[in-house]
A and B are shown apart, each in its own frame.
Chain A
Amino acid sequence: MGGVWLIRRIAAAAAIVFAVVSITFVAIHLAPGSPFLPPPDRPLDTAVVARLNRQFGLDQPIRVQYVRYLKNLAHGNLGYAFSRGQTVRAALATTIPDTLLLAGTALSLDLGLGLILGVVLAARARRATDVILSNLTLFIYSVPAFWLGLVLVFVFADWLHWFPGGFTNTPGLYENLPFFGQLGDRLHHLALPALTLGLVGAAGTARYQRAALLETLGREFVRTARAKGVRERRVILVHALRNSLLPLITLAGLSLPFLLTGSVLIESVFSWPGMGRMATDAVLARDHALVSGIAMVASAMVVTGSLVADVLYAAADPRIRERAT
């Protein structure tokens, strides 16, 4: 793989994140008012507002503020999230692991289940199994994820009491458990939110994989394999499947925006203290510093996702590798 290609690709990714940061900065500063504009029910002395504005440098021209913001960013200082009483960096550091845990589990479910289902659908194309399951995947693909979450909470938490309906662990109990008990408790809490997000994703992956595999099954080399007398099972699982797997890499990279979107809603349903729920709270609290921090991290995640997918794709596909050199 060409080093130049990789460097250019990384530079483009960094430029995109930089653009997102800058646009967010401008958008927030164009917003009317200042962070110290008192709410109407709690009047604040204008002299105090002016002093606070001066203290935080908000009375300076936007150009100066922008340069200072970038300087701080370069030092890893993302500002102070007043709504949480901690720095933006600390706020992100406490919430991102939970979001990654949820999104990562959901992604493995998404790809694993979606792949198997897609292969079954393609192998049984146009027969009863395919028709029934295809309609089911179309339905799940179209379901609002937060509603699916509520349905699962109702069935498995409120009704059957198999799984807890929210939070990452059992408060009060968790702290006193041994290590494996803690792990079990966390997994128990992870099950429903990850299943919700994973199922919706798997439905999309299955639809995609079915189409990709069917397309591959129509190609010449598959006909050759069949003509040689290779058993159908082997034709599908070895000859065709391997060749239809490549686009799945891109799909996985592109599913980051979906997972982040899902996390905003699913974290709200399951009281999951991740970045998505923090975004909602930050918007409600008009915490601009935190909002910019989240925008930056979200875009960095999306851009990295597609970057990694591109690199993996090039590593897996010799045709692309040749062209990228």
Chain B
Amino acid sequence: MTTRPTIALVGALILAMGVVELLRLRARRSGSGRRFFAHRPAVWGVRILLFFTVAALLAPLVAPYDPAAQPGIVTLQNTPPSWAHPLGTDAYSSDIWSRLVYGGRVSLGVGLLATLVAMTVGVTIGAVAGYAGGWIDSLLMRLVDVGLAVPRIFMLLFAVAYWNRIPLSILVLLLGLTGWFTTSRLVRAETLSLRGRPFVDAARAIGASPTRVLIRHLLPSALAPIIVSAVLSVGNVMLLEAGLSFLGFGVQPPTPSWGTMVADGQAQLALAPWTSFFPGLTIALVVMSWNAVGDALRDAFDPRPEHA
């Protein structure tokens, strides 16, 4: 590691820590903000997520090497972690830390974008089903039943088979389109419970269109559970992407993603365990962070009486 990546790395760490403290100061003003920051795993989760996001965004600065470079396929392959290669090198002599940083762009990006797709579809369908009721509701909810009957990874495997080398954009779309079922159920339930409230009747009475009632009045009230389910879903999508990539159906080489990196290392597990270990550990840490943040958000939004 030369000076530049070391400085960039320290910078990313300081930035992640600093932003958390800034957020903590701001959050002090509201009860739910204080409840969130009382959740210690979640605070660490935010730090970890910020760190990997900053590192991925500043990848050219943070990564000491070109992630695709194979400087010495014979002399430098599978070298254990050292100062020059902090996490070692893989079978193609590429630097694992550099690939991890660049892979973060793919893994985090796919997770976030696919969740955005899933939430958009899920919220729309759930809101329409809950608000329209009748046969539209029944039809959409039966569709959800069917969607939930096939494990998501099977659905993805079968869909992915239409492509020989699946483009990243399609992968994001497929991950999103197989992940909206539970969200739509949740939003439907929220919409149903809010539909009969006086403020909705009031909005309708002054002539607001159904679309306006949904977007301006119902959805803002249902935002908290939607946010929680979105945050939890990012981790879940990242695990699915990693799994698909591990099987060879997800992100296609030479693009590095954390899942493909684990798969690449499987062949030399006994020889060079670090090639699989660090990418997998990174997935675990990041997914854990999303889960912790999701848990804390749920508690922060929905304060239940102190149990035990």
Residues of chain A at the chain B interface (Cβ within 8 Å): 12, 16-17, 19-20, 23-24, 27, 31-32, 122, 125-126, 135, 138-139, 141-147, 150-151, 153-154, 158-159, 214-215, 217-218, 257-258, 260-261, 264-265, 268-269, 279-280, 283-284, 286, 291, 294-295, 298-299, 302-303
Give 11 CB contacts A-B under 8 Å.
A16-B149, A146-B242, A214-B308, A217-B308, A257-B151, A260-B153, A261-B153, A265-B247, A283-B160, A283-B249, A291-B158
Chain A residues within an 8 Å CB radius of B305: 218
B269, A286: Cβ atoms closer than 8 Å: no
Q: In the complex, identify which listed stretch (B23-31, B185-193, B272-280) lies at the interface while the others stay far away.
A: B272-280
Chain A residues within an 8 Å CB radius of B292: 138
Chain B residues within an 8 Å CB radius of A151: 277, 280
Chain B residues within an 8 Å CB radius of A268: 246-247
Chain B residues within an 8 Å CB radius of A218: 305-308
Chain B residues within an 8 Å CB radius of A294: 154
A139, B288: Cβ atoms closer than 8 Å: yes
Question: Once the chains are docked, how many angstroms separate the CA of A280 from the CA of B242?
Answer: 15
Q: Which B259-302 residues sit within 8 Å CB-CB of chain A?
A: 259, 262, 265-266, 269-270, 273, 276-277, 280-281, 283-285, 287-288, 290-292
Q: Given contacts A138-B291, A260-B151, A298-B154, are A146 and B246 in contact (CB under 8 A)?
A: yes
B161, A291: Cβ atoms closer than 8 Å: yes
Task: Please report whether the interface of chain A is mostly helix, strand, loop or mixed according to DSSP.
Answer: helix
- B150 contact from A12, A126, A298, Cβ within 8 A: A298
A16, B146: Cβ atoms closer than 8 Å: yes
Question: Once the chains are docked, how many angstroms separate the CA of A19 from the CA of B144?
Answer: 11
Q: Given contacts A147-B280, A260-B151, are A27 and B243 in contact (CB under 8 A)?
A: no
Give, as a whole number of angstroms, the nearest-CB distance from A312 to chain B. Answer: 19
Chain A residues within an 8 Å CB radius of B249: 280, 283
Give, as a whole number of angstroms, the nearest-CB distance from A142 to chain B. Answer: 4
Q: Given contacts A20-B146, A20-B149, are A125 and B308 in contact (CB under 8 A)?
A: yes
Question: Once the chains are docked, how many angstroms separate the CA of A264 from the CA of B305?
Answer: 41
- B262 contact from A125, A150, A264, Cβ within 8 A: A150
Given A142-B284, A279-B157, 4 more pairs with CB closer than 8 A:
A142-B285, A144-B280, A159-B270, A302-B149
Question: Once the chains are docked, how many angstroms separate the CA of A269 from the CA of B146?
Answer: 29
Q: Chain B: how many interface residues by the 8 Å CB criterion?
A: 46
B152 interface hit (Cβ, 8 Å): yes
Question: Once the chains are docked, how many angstroms separate the CA of A122 from the CA of B307?
Answer: 10
Q: Which residue of chain A has its CB nearest to the CB of B160?
A: A283
B280, A142: Cβ atoms closer than 8 Å: no
Chain B residues within an 8 Å CB radius of A158: 269-270
Q: Given contacts A217-B307, A265-B243, are A144 and B158 in contact (CB under 8 A)?
A: no
- B247 contact from A217, A258, A260, A280, Cβ within 8 A: A280
B243, A16: Cβ atoms closer than 8 Å: no
Instruction: Name the 7 nearest CB pairs between A and B, nearest first.
Output: A147-B280, A142-B288, A158-B270, A142-B287, A218-B307, A257-B151, A299-B149
- B158 contact from A139, A159, A257, A295, Cβ within 8 A: A295
Chain B residues within an 8 Å CB radius of A138: 41, 288, 291-292
Chain B residues within an 8 Å CB radius of A125: 308
Give, as a whole number of angstroms, the nearest-CB distance from B265 to chain A. Answer: 8
- A144 contact from B160, B269, B284, Cβ within 8 A: B284
Q: Which residue of chain B has its CB nearest to the CB of A143?
A: B284
A144, B308: Cβ atoms closer than 8 Å: no
Q: Which residue of chain A has its CB nearest to the CB of B243?
A: A265
Give, as a whole number of angstroms, the nearest-CB distance from A67 to chain B. Answer: 21
B135 interface hit (Cβ, 8 Å): no
Q: Given contacts A138-B288, A280-B247, are A295 and B308 in contact (CB under 8 A)?
A: no
Chain A residues within an 8 Å CB radius of B308: 122, 125-126, 214, 217-218
B151, A31: Cβ atoms closer than 8 Å: no
Give, as a whole number of angstroms, the nearest-CB distance from B299 to chain A. Answer: 11
Question: Once the chains are docked, how many angstroms separate the CA of A177 from the CA of B136?
Answer: 61
B256 interface hit (Cβ, 8 Å): no
Give, as a whole number of angstroms, the nearest-CB distance from A63 to chain B. Answer: 21
Q: Which B6-64 residues sit within 8 Å CB-CB of chain A?
A: 41
Chain A residues within an 8 Å CB radius of B154: 260-261, 264, 279, 294-295, 298
Chain A residues within an 8 Å CB radius of B265: 150
B162 interface hit (Cβ, 8 Å): yes
Question: Once the chains are docked, how many angstroms separate the CA of A214 from the CA of B41?
Answer: 19
A298, B284: Cβ atoms closer than 8 Å: no
Q: Which residue of chain A has its CB nearest to the CB of B265?
A: A150
Question: Once the chains are docked, how many angstroms separate the CA of A316 from the CA of B308?
Answer: 26
B145 interface hit (Cβ, 8 Å): yes
Give, as a whole number of angstroms, the nearest-CB distance from B297 to chain A. Answer: 15
- A19 contact from B146, B235, B273, Cβ within 8 A: B146
Name, among A154, A218, A261, the residue most crowded by chain B CB atoms within 10 Å (CB to CB): A261
Question: Once the chains are docked, how many angstroms separate the CA of A217 from the CA of B292?
Answer: 23
Chain B residues within an 8 Å CB radius of A122: 308
